[in-house]
Amino acid sequence: MKTSKLFSKAFLVAIAFIAFGCEDDKKSTPIVPVVTKPTTTTEVDGGTPIAANTKWTADKRYLLKGFVRVKAGATLTIEPGTVILGDKQTKGALIIERGAKLIAEGTVSKPIVFTSAQPKGSRSYSDWAGVIILGNAPTNKPTTTTIEGVDNAFYGGTDAADNSGILKYVRIEFAGIAISPNNEVNGLTLGGVGSGTTIQYVQVSYSGDDSFEWFGGSVNAKYLIAHRGFDDDFDTDFGFSGNVQFGLVVRDPNVADQSNSNAFESDNDGGGTVDAMPRTSATFSNITVIGALDRGVTDVNKQYGRAAHLRRATRQAIFNSVLTGFPMGVHIDGLATQADAVATPSLVTIENTTLAAMGKNLGNFSLPAGSTGAPTITDASQPIQSWWNEAAKANKTETTLSAIGISSINMANPMAALMPAAGSPLLNGGAFTHTRLASFEKVTYRGAFGTTNWTTGWTNFDPQNTDY
């Protein structure tokens, strides 16, 4: 969610592909799952909604023309290995409306791929709109609210356990568009999606807006990848209360949005309304963020913002993670968010987390004198430092990527550098004693990876050059 967004991407995108495309061609490329190339393409016209149970099969490609809606009561099932293309001219999108279901369950060897309809070598940010899933779970907005970027697409309700289907072993590439300021479609947009929905092993690459954005809801997610996104990577708003574990962010140093790109951006709502209930209270654990700094790049985009911008009355928390390479590490912002962090640390907290290679580790954390319900603070820098350094939090800071075992990142195959080497401090220091982590998988490490690379087989870090 942004307060303003007016930008042109063409120049930045051209630089990014020139800067990294040539370099990547000289280096080893990752193993990409073999996708059987179908011989026919089926156009799916947004002018005709999907109102009955429908199945898309891997022996065909499907071309989304315009906003394709799956209506309430209908289920769209997509076979493993199926390729769905988004049409550029009509801003193709797939919208699962409230009360409908999407069953898109790929496999490690046969992921489901949503990608640009442009030929290889010609794909770019915002080639199509994206995937939007809407549900009946609670938000802090009226149930007559329509999702950003789409007319008459309502979300939210009273069923926290609502089930919108399955999204598993899925890639979403070159999606995400800004219709107008504050009115964007993301790579994957989730509005009021309930905890009965399964979201696991999803990679969003080259999104023209946020990679993942949750507008309220209670859905949980595991194994998410935000790869070379334009704006924010994990954006939470409107009362989202789900749990997210194991996530990877890999940024392109040359590409960022004029509104400042953040790895985490979290608001209760656009105005920081304290009494808008439920409050945004997402919990993230085991996230690895690879920002733009300390990677041997001299022309880093000046629009990079913060690794974590927690603001506008959010109560989001981050645990067992490693955040790197942003001009600012953690920025606690907004009176209500600051008050919760100081007076009741369990509401807004970051624990067992490492910051590395930041321009500045910690951002503004101050309260005006006489603030109601919170301590009076006169030192503008000490409160957040004290908050971060509390012994029980076990947070750490490092000045370089090499200090945590990361040295050189090949943008076409980042995993070659991101698995912790033997002796890496990231392999230890994870903890799950906090009450907010009761339902999380218990591991010993910080960040997304221990000794198992869960990206193997189904991901693609070079979709620009893949022949679909």
Pairing between β-strand 177-180 and β-strand 183-185 as defined by DSSP bridges: antiparallel
Q: Is the pLDDT of residue 4 over 90?
A: no
Mean pLDDT of 254-282: 96
> Is the peptide bond preceding residue 278 cis, with omega within 30 degrees of 0?
yes
Residue reference for tokens 């985490």: 264
Please tell me which residue, 207 or 389, carries the higher pLDDT value. Answer: 207
Q: Distance between alpha carbon 364 and the CA centroid of its chain, in Å?
A: 24
Residue 333 near residue 310 (C-beta atoms within 8 A):
yes
pLDDT at position 294: 94
Tokens of 180: 């107008």
In this predicted model, what pLDDT tens digit does every residue of 35-66 receive, in sequence order? 557 878 999 999 999 999 999 999 999 999 99
Rounded average pLDDT over 279-304 = 94
- pLDDT computed for residue 30 by the predictor: 53
pTM beyond 0.95 = no
> Are 171 and 203 spatial neighbours (Cβ–Cβ below 8 Å)?
yes
Bigger pLDDT: 225 vs 374: 225
pLDDT surpassing 80 at residue 247: yes
Max CA pair span of the chain: 69
Distance between CA 202 and CA 204 in Å, rounded?
A: 7
Mean pLDDT of 207-231: 98
